[in-house]
C-alpha cells in the first residue's frame, strides 16, 4: 500500500490532489473553456468552495505550463503585469545551453531580455525610500501576450476581486489583446479567480467580449461531494470514519471543502494518525469532538471579528438592522431563508419594518466590511450564514443577550465554551447515538 502523509491528503489551505473530487456539474464547462483558443475565463464563487483546487487539477491535465499571480488589496495593474513578466524568467534562460521544455524564437528571447534590462535600469527610489520598478514602454500588453504565448503559459489571476475597480478596467483591455493574439498563440489565456457572487463583480468588460469570455460559477459543494472527499481520505490513509460521521462532517462543512479538510485533518491528529496506517484505524465521535473544538478555538478571533463588523452600528437609525436580520435568520435552519420569508418573520415583531432596509442590509452582510456573514444561493434564492459556525455563534449571542430591535448594543460576547455547548446540542440532534460520548467529556 502506498503511504501518504495526512497533510498530503487533507489540505485545507492548498489545492487538493489526493482527495480531489471531480465535479461533473462544472467540469465540462471548465474543460471546454480551457481548451477553446482565445476564450478567456472568469471563475468565481465563495471562498473555500474549491475554485483553486478545481482549476489547479484541470490545468495539470490540460496545460503544459501556467503561472499564477496572487492579487492583493491596493495592488496596481502595472504590478500585476510585472509579476507575470518576472515569472517568465524560467522560460527565457540567460544561457543558451540551458535545457528548457519550450523553445522560443530568438526574436522574442531578445525582446524579453531587452525589457528585463530596461526594468533593471528604471528602478527608482520614492520619497518613502521604497524601491519601485517603472513599467517600461516596451512591456506593452501585446509584448506580454507574445511572451506568454511563446512560452505556452496560461496566466492565473488569483483573488482578482481584491483589486480596485479602476484597475480591473485594464484587465478588460488586456483580455481583448490576448483574444486577438490567440490566432497565433492558441494557449494564450487569462483565468481570473474571484470569491464573489457574480462575475460582473470580478471584472467588467466590453459588450463585444461577451461571447469570448466564459463565466464559470463554482457552486458550493453538495453533501455527497463533501462525503466523497472523506471517503478518498479514508482510502488513502487506511482509516474509517465511524457510523454517520461522514454525514456529520458534510453538514458542518456547509458546502465548503476547506472546512471538511480542516475537520478531517484535526480528527486524524486527535487519533494520532500521521500517515497511511498499516492496520485500519477507526475515527469516532470523540475525535470529531476534538477536531471541532480545535477548529472553533483557532477560528474564535476571526468569528468574533466578523460579528463585531456585522453588529457594529455605523450611524444612529430607528432600527439596529443587522441585529434584527441576523436574529431572524437564526430561526430558520442552516439552509437559510428567502428575503420574503425573512421579511415576514421580522414583521411579526416589527410590523412596519421597511423592506428596502432588509434588502440593503442583506447585501451589506455579504461584504468583507460586514464580516462576510451571509451568502446568497442564487439557485435556491436563499440567504444563509456563510459558515455554519456563524449560525451557531449567532444563536448563542442572541439567546444570551436578548437582543431586540431597539437594543443598540453591538458586542459579540459569546465565548468559545458557550459556542461549543450549542454545537454539542446540534450534534445531539444529528448524531444521537454518539452524542452521549461527546457531551460526557464536557467543554
Q: How would you write 36-55 as a 3-class SS string? A: CCCCEEEEECCCCCCHHHHH
**Contact between 58 and 147 (Cβ < 8 Å):** no
Look at residue 401 and give its three-state secondary structure. helix
**Contact between 71 and 80 (Cβ < 8 Å):** yes
At residue 337, what are phi and psi to the nearest 5 degrees? -150, 155
CA distances to 6, 29, 160, 186, 247 from 54, rounded to whole Å, are 20, 12, 17, 22, 23
What's the CATH number of domain 22-217, 3.40.50.300, 3.10.450.50, 3.40.640.10, 3.20.20.150?
Answer: 3.40.50.300
The whole-angstrom separation of Cα 26 and Cα 53 is: 13
Alpha carbon 174 to chain centroid, angstroms: 24
DSSP assignment letter at 337: B
Question: What is the block-wise mean pLDDT of the chain (443 residues), using blocks of 10 residues?
Answer: 93 93 87 90 84 89 88 88 89 57 69 82 50 75 91 90 81 87 90 72 63 84 94 97 90 87 96 96 91 82 85 87 94 90 95 95 92 86 87 75 43 51 60 43 35
Grid coordinates representing 104 are: 522560443
Supply the pLDDT for residue 406: 40
Q: Which long-range contacts (CB under 8 A, 24 or more apart) does 79-86 make?
A: 80/157, 80/163, 80/167, 81/135, 81/139, 81/141, 81/144, 81/174, 82/119, 82/133, 82/135, 82/139, 84/144, 84/148, 84/155, 85/115, 85/116, 85/119, 85/139, 85/144, 85/147
Beta bridge partners of 132: 124
> What's the whole-model pTM score?
0.76
Supply the pLDDT for residue 411: 42
Supply the pLDDT for residue 419: 62
The class (CATH top level) of 223-298 is: mainly alpha
Pairing label, strands 153-158, 189-194:
parallel
Amino acid at each position: 500500500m502506498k503511504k501518504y502523509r495526512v497533510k498530503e491528503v487533507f489540505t485545507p489551505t492548498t489545492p487538493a490532489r489526493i482527495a480531489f473530487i471531480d465535479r461533473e456539474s462544472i467540469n465540462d464547462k471548465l474543460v471546454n473553456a480551457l481548451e477553446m483558443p482565445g476564450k478567456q475565463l472568469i471563475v468565481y464563487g465563495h471562498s473555500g468552495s474549491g475554485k483553486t483546487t478545481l482549476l489547479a487539477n484541470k490545468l495539470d491535465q490540460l496545460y503544459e505550463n501556467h503561472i499564477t499571480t496572487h492579487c492583493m488589496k491596493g495592488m496596481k495593474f502595472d504590478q500585476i503585469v510585472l509579476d507575470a513578466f518576472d515569472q517568465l524568467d524560467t522560460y527565457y534562460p540567460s544561457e543558451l545551453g540551458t535545457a528548457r521544455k519550450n523553445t522560443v524564437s530568438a526574436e522574442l528571447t531578445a525582446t524579453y531580455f531587452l525589457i528585463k534590462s530596461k526594468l533593471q535600469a528604471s528602478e527608482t527610489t520614492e520619497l518613502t525610500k521604497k524601491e519601485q520598478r517603472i513599467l517600461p514602454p516596451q512591456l506593452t500588453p501585446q509584448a506580454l501576450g507574445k511572451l506568454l504565448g511563446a512560452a505556452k503559459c496560461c496566466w492565473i489571476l488569483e483573488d482578482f476581486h481584491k483589486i480596485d475597480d479602476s484597475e480591473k478596467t485594464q484587465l478588460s483591455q488586456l483580455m481583448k489583446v490576448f483574444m486577438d493574439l490567440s490566432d497565433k498563440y492558441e494557449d494564450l489565456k487569462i483565468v481570473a479567480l474571484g470569491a464573489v457572487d457574480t462575475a460582473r463583480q470580478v471584472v467588467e468588460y466590453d459588450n463585444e467580449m461577451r461571447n469570448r469570455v466564459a463565466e464559470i460559477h463554482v457552486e458550493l459543494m453538495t453533501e455527497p461531494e463533501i462525503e466523497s472527499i472523506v471517503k478518498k481520505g479514508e482510502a488513502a490513509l487506511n482509516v474509517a470514519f465511524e457510523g454517520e460521521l461522514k454525514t456529520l462532517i458534510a453538514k458542518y462543512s456547509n458546502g465548503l471543502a476547506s472546512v471538511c479538510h480542516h475537520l478531517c485533518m484535526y480528527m486524524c491528529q486527535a487519533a494520532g494518525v500521521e500517515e497511511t496506517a498499516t492496520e485500519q484505524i477507526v475515527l469516532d465521535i470523540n475525535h470529531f469532538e476534538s477536531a471541532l473544538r480545535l477548529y472553533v478555538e483557532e477560528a474564535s478571533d476571526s468569528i468574533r471579528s466578523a460579528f463585531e463588523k456585522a453588529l457594529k452600528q455605523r450611524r444612529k437609525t430607528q432600527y439596529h438592522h443587522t441585529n434584527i436580520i441576523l436574529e431572524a435568520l437564526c430561526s430558520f435552519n442552516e439552509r437559510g431563508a428567502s428575503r420574503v420569508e425573512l421579511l415576514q418573520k421580522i414583521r411579526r415583531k416589527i410590523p412596519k419594518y421597511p423592506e428596502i432596509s432588509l434588502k440593503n442590509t442583506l447585501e451589506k452582510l455579504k461584504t468583507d466590511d460586514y464580516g462576510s456573514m451571509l451568502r446568497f444561493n442564487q439557485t435556491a434564492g436563499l440567504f444563509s450564514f456563510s459558515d455554519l459556525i456563524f449560525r451557531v455563534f449567532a444563536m448563542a449571542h442572541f439567546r444570551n443577550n436578548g437582543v431586540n430591535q431597539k437594543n443598540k448594543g453591538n458586542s459579540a460576547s459569546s465565548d468559545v465554551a458557550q459556542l461549543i455547548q450549542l454545537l454539542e446540542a446540534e450534534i445531539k440532534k444529528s448524531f444521537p447515538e454518539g452524542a452521549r460520548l461527546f457531551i460526557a467529556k464536557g467543554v
